[in-house]
């Protein structure tokens, strides 16, 4: 069979991307290594540079990002625009599902059973 190589990347809350070691992936939280990123990781100057790197070095991306940018369609949109194949929900669908209240209302309107909920503004 073919060799398989897995590369790990981290995107912080300021949308800075870093190539990190697999050992850093086993850390409890990003805060455990955030302060070390400049000395231990390859940083990318911009998201464009990061996407160019992925496009030239990656066959497929498994985006595993929680919260803003990961679940709101942000990373998916960049991957789609760059033509990088990825596993998971597309950007349009992720944006629609990110708003949990509206997603629940849409599912309910389509006759799916949802739990009762309300929106606090």
- The Cα–Cα gap between 37 and 81 comes to 27
Does the predicted model carry a pTM greater than 0.85?
Answer: no
Q: In the chain, count H helices and then E strands.
A: 6, 3
113 backbone dihedrals φ, ψ, rounded to 5°? -75, 125
Does 82 have pLDDT greater than 80?
A: yes
Does 94 have pLDDT greater than 80?
A: yes
56: confidence class by pLDDT, cuts 50, 70, 90 = very high
Task: Give per-residue pLDDT as tens, 23-37.
Answer: 777 776 666 666 667
What is residue 1's predicted lDDT score, i.e. its pLDDT? 56
According to CATH, the topology of domain 8-109 is: Rossmann fold (3.40.50)
């Amino acid at each position: 069979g073919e060799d398989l190589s897995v590369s790990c990347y981290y995107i912080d809350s300021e949308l800075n991307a870093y190539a990190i070691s697999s050992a850093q992936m086993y850390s409890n939280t990003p805060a455990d290594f955030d302060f070390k990123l400049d000395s231990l990781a390859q940083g990318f100057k911009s998201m464009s540079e990061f996407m160019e790197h992925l496009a030239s070095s990656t066959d497929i991306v498994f985006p595993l990002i929680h919260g803003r940018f990961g679940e709101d369609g942000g990373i998916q949109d960049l991957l789609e625009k760059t033509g990088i194949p990825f596993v998971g929900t597309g950007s349009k669908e992720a944006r629609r599902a990110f708003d949990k209240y509206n997603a629940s209302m849409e599912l309910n309107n389509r006759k799916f059973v949802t739990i009762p909920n309300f929106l606090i503004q």
